[in-house]
Amino acid sequence: MKKRLIVGLSGASGAPLAIDLLRAMEEQEDWEVHLVYSDGFVRSLASESAVDVDQLRAMAAVTYDNRDLGASIASGTYVTQGMIIIPCSMKTVAGIASGYSENLLLRAADVTIKEQRKLVLVPRESPLSPIHLKNLLWLSQIGVRILPPVLGYYTNADTIEALTRQVVGRCLQEFGIQVSGFQRWREGE
């Protein structure tokens, strides 16, 4: 049976990160993506990419309706290897930090925490307010991995696509997933 990764997409800027992560996961033969996205993500996708939501859905093994709180990923008995939310809005950060699971994306994150599975957030906002920082700190303290999409200048990447792949590679490394084009510091020296 393939390993399951829940991929949540929310309404922060950074839709190209989501697209590239789904592309990278298509290379992984022993993994399947369980996709859930918010209305906010659809809006940011439209303003940041020519890719449409149907193309993203085609890259996932299963796509869920964010309103469907009875979906499999809403239950801890449905086994997954964890969840990544990329990009992750401050609203979604707040919902997870407070346990306010009003949609499936938030519920799946809540379940991931309660089952002590790996949850990786790729939060995007600038500047970060004390509210954002407090929520992120709390989540970090309970074991959630916080990976803001920072630029890895040290790789000397010369395109936005290459920088994006660095962020995606770093995120998927959290699950032991190796992606093409990802450069580790000093590897191969």
Ligand X SMILES: Cc1cc2nc3c(=O)[nH]c(=O)nc-3n(C[C@H](O)[C@H](O)[C@H](O)COP(=O)(O)O)c2cc1C
Q: Which residues bind ligand X (CB under 6 A)?
A: 10-13, 38, 40-41, 43-44, 47, 89-92, 124-125
Please check whether residue 5 is in contact with residue 32, taking contact to mean a CB–CB distance below 8 angstroms: yes
Nearest-approach distance from CB 67 to ligand X, in angstroms: 12
Which residue lies nearer to ligand X by CB, 101 or 183? Answer: 101
Nearest-approach distance from CB 141 to ligand X, in angstroms: 20
* Buried b or exposed e, range 19-35, using 16+ CB within 10 angstroms: bbbbbbbeebeebbbbb
Distance CA 126, CA 134 (A): 15
Which residue lies nearer to ligand X by CB, 10 or 182? Answer: 10
Which residue lies nearer to ligand X by CB, 10 or 177? Answer: 10
Nearest-approach distance from CB 1 to ligand X, in angstroms: 31
Phi, psi of 174 (to 5 degrees): -60, -25
Q: What is the separation of C-alpha 100 from the centre of its chain, rounded to a whole number of angstroms?
A: 19
Which residue lies nearer to ligand X by CB, 127 or 176? Answer: 127
